[in-house]
Every structure is written in C-alpha cells, then in structure tokens.
C-alpha cells in the first residue's frame, strides 16, 4: 500500500451530469479520507449540470470557462493538487467505467510514488466496442515501439501520476493525446511504469456517452507521439 503520500483523485468531466455524482460518491467511499480535498472534478466547459451534481456529491469542482479538452483539464487538476500539497493523483474518467474499488487499487498500488501506474483493461472480456479495441491495440504497438517498453493499455484513463514530475514533462496536448504524451515521455526517460490489471464497466450501447473519436483522436495521438519522439531523447536502460 502507498503510505505517507498525499493523493487526490482528479476527474476530468464534460457533459457528465448523469454519471458524475455516482463516480464522486464511489471515490469518496473507496479512497482514504485526508485533510483537504479527496476528489477534484474539473468541469471542462460543460453546458449541463455536471458541476452542480459533482458539488452536491461532495467533490471540489474546478470550472473551465469553455471546453478545452481532457489534457487541459488534467493539467488544471494536477496544478491544483500541487497547490493542495498532494504528491500524486489518480485520474478517473467521469463516465462511470472505472469502478471505485479499481480506482483505489491503482491509487494505493505499492509502486514508489515516483512511478507511473497504469490501469490495464481486458477490453474483450469487459465488452468494449470493436473500434475501441482496434484503436487501443494500434496505440499500444505504436507507443511501445517509440517508448522502448512493452505497454499493454496505452489509452486507459485510470492512472496514478507523480504530480510534480508529470507536470515537468511539459506534455503539450490539450486533448486525449496528453495521456499518450505523458506515457511516452515517461517511457523514454526510463521511469518505472507499473501495470495493474483492472475491471471496467461498459454500459449498453444505447447508454454509452463518449467524447473520444476513434479516427480523429488516434490520428492526433500519432502526431503527438512523433513530436514527443523528436523532442524527448530516449535514455539507455
């Protein structure tokens, strides 16, 4: 168990009024209570009641003036965590796919605080759409090649980041590519990367809400990977 480390859950959220309250209450129940905020929701310019529902459930809410993207929201949450004295954050998606007990397993994994801890999904077992499985498989191969390590789930949003070190990587994407950039930088710089098998919940097709576009966003990830590869030299292991 990760002991003596101040940790905050950061939840980037956009148009998530139907699921955010359950996500917040689950995290508050699963994570150890601490002085100061435990769950921070970054409302990324939602036009619905996402912020109000998150506050009602007990989260600290940070509001973006407009929709800037997941990466921008994660950076805002991480900077807030630093100001609140936290040394690590666990990031959790707002759509309810990450059960709170799985988030707690990632958050409290015994890897050192400086490690990047990745949730690894079994997409076939848990019923992910075919397009998602293809996109993730492509990204895994692509980032493994350029990162110099084998990565089994490069797109899962359930992660534990060492906050000061992650912000220092200067990952520049405001969108989904932020997660790939940070992972690639960490791999190329020789960080310890721990992978934790997790369970995820995919709702029925009629109830799924996703802002990830399986063509556009992977294309942006490829572009960001190439830029990061040029900018961050790979260290010998």
Q: Is 69 left (phi over 0), alpha (psi -120 to 50) or beta?
A: left
Residue 185's pLDDT is what? Answer: 93
Count of beta carbons in the 10 Å neighbourhood of residue 206 = 5
Residue 1's pLDDT is what? Answer: 47
Q: Which domains does the chain have, with CATH numbers?
A: 7-231 (3.90.550.10)
Angle between the 177-188 and 130-147 helix axes, to the nearest 10 degrees?
A: 30
Coil/strand/helix, residue 161: strand
Q: How many residues does the chain have?
A: 237
Q: Which residues in 38-65 are b (16+ Cβ under 10 Å) and which e? A: bbbbbbbbbeebbbebbbebebbbbebe
Q: Which of 118, 137, 92 is nearest to 187 (CA)?
A: 118
Per-residue pLDDT tens, the chain, 237 aa: give them. 466 778 999 999 999 999 999 999 999 999 988 777 899 999 999 999 999 999 999 999 999 999 999 999 999 999 999 999 999 999 999 999 999 999 999 999 999 999 999 999 988 888 888 878 888 888 899 899 989 999 999 999 999 999 999 999 988 888 888 999 999 999 999 999 999 999 999 876 544 455 555 556 666 666 666 676 667 667 755
Instruction: State the pTM of this model.
Output: 0.88
């Amino acid at each position: 168990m990760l002991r003596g480390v101040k940790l905050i859950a950061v939840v980037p959220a956009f148009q998530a009024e139907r699921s955010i309250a359950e996500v917040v209450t689950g995290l508050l129940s699963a994570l150890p209570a601490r002085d100061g905020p435990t769950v921070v929701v970054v409302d990324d310019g939602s036009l619905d009641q996402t912020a109000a529902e998150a506050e009602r459930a007990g989260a600290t809410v940070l509001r973006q003036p407009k929709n800037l993207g997941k990466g921008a929201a994660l950076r805002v949450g991480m900077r807030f965590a630093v100001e609140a004295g936290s040394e690590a954050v666990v990031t959790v998606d707002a759509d309810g796919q990450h059960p709170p007990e799985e988030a707690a397993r990632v958050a409290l994994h015994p890897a050192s605080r400086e490690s990047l801890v990745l949730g690894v999904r079994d997409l076939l077992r848990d019923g992910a759409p075919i397009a998602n499985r293809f996109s993730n498989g492509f990204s895994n191969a692509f980032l493994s090649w350029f990162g110099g390590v084998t990565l089994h789930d490069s797109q899962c949003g359930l992660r534990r980041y060492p906050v000061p070190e992650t912000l220092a990587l200067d990952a520049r994407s405001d969108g989904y590519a932020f997660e790939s950039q940070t992972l690639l930088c960490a791999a190329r710089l020789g960080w310890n990367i721990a992978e934790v098998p997790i369970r995820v919940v995919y709702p029925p097709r009629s109830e799924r809400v996703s802002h990830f576009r399986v063509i556009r966003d992977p294309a942006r990830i490829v572009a960001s990977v190439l830029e990061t590869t040029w900018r961050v030299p790979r260290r010998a292991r």
